Amino acid sequence: MIGLGYKISDPHLVSKAHLIVDDFNEPYLTEHEAHHLFVVKRLIEGDSVTLCDGRGTVVPCRVVCNPSDRTTRRNKRDKVLVLQTDGDRYYRDFSAPILEMVLSVIDPDRLDIAISKLTELGVARITLVEAHRSRSVPQRLGEGRLGLARLTKITREAAGQSRSLYLPELSFGDYDEVMDRVIVCDMDGEDLVLPPSSVLIGPEGGFAPGEIPSTVTKWRLPGNVLRAETAALVAASLAMGMFQN
């Protein structure tokens, strides 16, 4: 599916690979990124690659060498320079709905899946909070596998795979504070008439008794009881579809 505001001829939609980078001026790749391009995707010299800053700007490039070549330039951090600019940079506005998904902390493996897929869907913001039953997860927000740097890396890889031009704004939030703006997915909820701007997904085992204030709107998702990561994807897809309709 072509993203809103994109043109079918946009280089990032037709290039052999799409990468999120920090600096356009020196398009060095990490060994992991080079492995993905040349071993997994089997790119060769001359193939097209687009670089994106995760904020809507894209630079078309071409592969100019293979990192296995001993003459390949490397910087001080042992990153390889294998790309060369091949066209004018361009910018595309973020024209998807501004949707925030608030996720209660769950098992890190399943949280990784949710964050990756929400990035692919084009969710604008992902906020992580600790609900009462999130305490069963052995790691705390900001630590180990729940560290911001690691989770941001997941969004970058997902954005590259999905040809996205924007990274979601990823942050940690306070559970009580987000209650002022969210709609909560809950089996006791009702159908929504208007699209939500912020949706809260509960932890494994659901919310503790009394954890959801009576003033908060509850949204019942269609189908069976869903696992947290599945509920996040269903809710985001439905909400973005409501915006577009």
pLDDT tens track for 139-162: 677 777 888 889 999 999 999 999
The encoded tokens of residue 192 equal: 């929504």
For residue 136, pLDDT beyond 70? no
Where exactly are the structural domains of the chain?
11-91, 100-244
Classify domain 11-91 at the CATH topology level: Ribosomal Protein L25; Chain P (2.40.240)
pLDDT at 232: 97
For the beta carbon of residue 108, count every other beta carbon within 10 angstroms: 16
Q: Is the pLDDT of residue 208 over 80?
A: yes
pLDDT of residue 18: 93
CA distance 194 to 142: 34
pLDDT (tens digit per residue) in 21-76: 888 877 777 778 888 888 888 888 899 999 999 999 999 999 887 655 543 445 44
For residue 230, what are the contacts with CB-CB under 8 A and spacing of at least 6?
none
Residue 169 has pLDDT above 70, yes or no: yes
Tell me what pLDDT residue 3 has. Answer: 47
What is 100-244's CATH number?
A: 3.40.1280.10
In degrees and rounded to multiples of 5, residue 20 shows phi and psi of -95, 125
Strand partners, 57: 91
Assess contact for 110 and 104: CB atoms under 8 A: no
Residues 172-186 pLDDT 10s: 999 999 999 999 999
CA 84, CA 95: separation in Å to the nearest integer?
29
Which of 203, 177, 182, 199 is closest to 108 using CA atoms? 203
Looking at residues 166-195, what average pLDDT do you find? 92
- Reported pTM: 0.86
CB 34 within 8 A of CB 41: no
Q: What is the pLDDT of residue 30?
A: 77
From 162, 161, 225, select the one nearest 189 (Cα to Cα).
225
- Which pair of structure tokens corresponds to residue 191? 């159908």
- How high is the pLDDT of residue 75? 47
